[in-house]
Amino acid sequence: MKPRIMTLGSHSALQILKGAKDENFETIVVVKKNYEITYRSFPVADEIIVIDEYPEFKQLESQLVDKQAILIPHGSLFAAISTQDLAHNKVMYFGEKEVLALEESRKRQRQWLLDAGLTMPRIYNSPEEIDGPAIVKFNGAGGGKGYFLAKNAEEFYDKIETRHPGSYMIQQYIIGNPIYVHYFYSPLTDELEIMSMDKRYETNVDSIGRISAKDQLDLDLQTSYNIMGNMPLVARESMLADMLRMGRSVVDESKKLTNRGMFGPFCLEMVITPDMKYYVFEISARIVAGSNPFVNGSPYSDLRYNVPMSTGRRIAREIKNALEQGRLDKVIT
């Protein structure tokens, strides 16, 4: 029996499943009740398994092992299964599980990126240290929900009162253009590709400009960064060299920190300033939802492939190549 491609019904599942079908895999989606309508509406899943609540996902383990399912992780998977539980789960997993712990710890992630030579925004260790624009980020917020800006300790304490409790990080706010670069690194060929790029569409920060500055002040508006969707982007061509170098050094550094290093899709989330400094504020070591506008490929993937190549399809292509070469162990944990 040939392995089947499986993912959780959310985030970038449509793209992943479509890409798998394009590479001639059978597909399975595991979806929470009330969301299956999406996966019935688009013909990309050969099998739809509906669960009542995400914790039930764990109970499917032996069924999925029997079906030779290969789990493709995305950002919503961690709502269904903790990284600790995933570590022991026997379902085939596309990617290096060891990288999850590296990414999950803010401290370790930061050290990884700094050791790779990237520039990052400053971290303020206490509100009293804030001496310029700062963005306050909550742990596990998911998609920038509740984040706010503060320019000094007083403003921080004013605003934190009305926000949700829990741990947070205070980061230097970089004024520039946020760009999310989607990469793919192949452990089979040691090639690094830029698949696509996006910018985000967030409420309310992306809609504040629709009302006049006077109204903004009168309404005492505060910005929030709750993600609604993603928009395609193509960068100035001269920036690609820097972006490729950054992606490569992050991959190289990950090989020093874990057994096999990071492979498959990943994303560097950065703000680029007018003096062309790239401030990377986060890495996602898997497919990001910003790749969803490119189900049919991107200008970058068009330069390399003669079929429409989404990141989802690129994952399936890597698994297919590994199977053909008898090297499946190179791409799964």
Compute the chain's Rg from CA coordinates. 20
Binding positions for ligand ATP, rule: CB under 6 A: 75, 121, 135, 141-144, 147, 171-174, 178, 200, 202, 225, 269, 271, 281-282, 284
CB of 236 to ligand ATP, least distance (A): 18
DSSP secondary structure letter of residue 305: -
CB of 140 to ligand ATP, least distance (A): 9
CA-to-CA distance for 133 and 72, rounded, in angstroms? 38
CB of 111 to ligand ATP, least distance (A): 17
**Cα atoms found within 13 Å of the Cα of residue 206, Cβ hemisphere only:** 15
Q: Toward ligand ATP, which CB reaches closer, 18 or 200?
A: 200
CB of 161 to ligand ATP, least distance (A): 21
Q: Detail the DSSP E strand segments found in 161-255.
A: 168-172, 177-185, 192-204, 225-232
* Residue 112 Cα distances to 106, 252, 258, angstroms: 10, 10, 11
CA-to-CA distance for 171 and 169, rounded, in angstroms? 6
CB of 284 to ligand ATP, least distance (A): 6
CB of 76 to ligand ATP, least distance (A): 10
Q: Toward ligand ATP, which CB reaches closer, 75 or 293?
A: 75
Q: Toward ligand ATP, which CB reaches closer, 49 or 268?
A: 268
CB of 33 to ligand ATP, least distance (A): 24
Q: Toward ligand ATP, which CB reaches closer, 15 or 186?
A: 15
User: CB neighbours (10 Å) of residue 245?
Assistant: 12
Q: Toward ligand ATP, which CB reaches closer, 75 or 187?
A: 75
CB of 119 to ligand ATP, least distance (A): 11
Identity of residue 332:
I
Q: Toward ligand ATP, which CB reaches closer, 271 or 332?
A: 271
Q: Toward ligand ATP, which CB reaches closer, 8 or 20?
A: 8
Residue appearing with tokens 């998609």: 143
Residue-level length of the chain: 333
Q: Helix, strand or coil for residue 31?
A: strand
Identity of residue 185:
Y
Contact 96, 38 (CB under 8 A): no
Q: Toward ligand ATP, which CB reaches closer, 25 or 281?
A: 281
What's phi and psi for 116, nearest 5 deg?
-80, 0
DSSP secondary structure letter of residue 152: S
Nearest in space to 138 (alpha carbons), one of 155, 154, 116, 160: 160
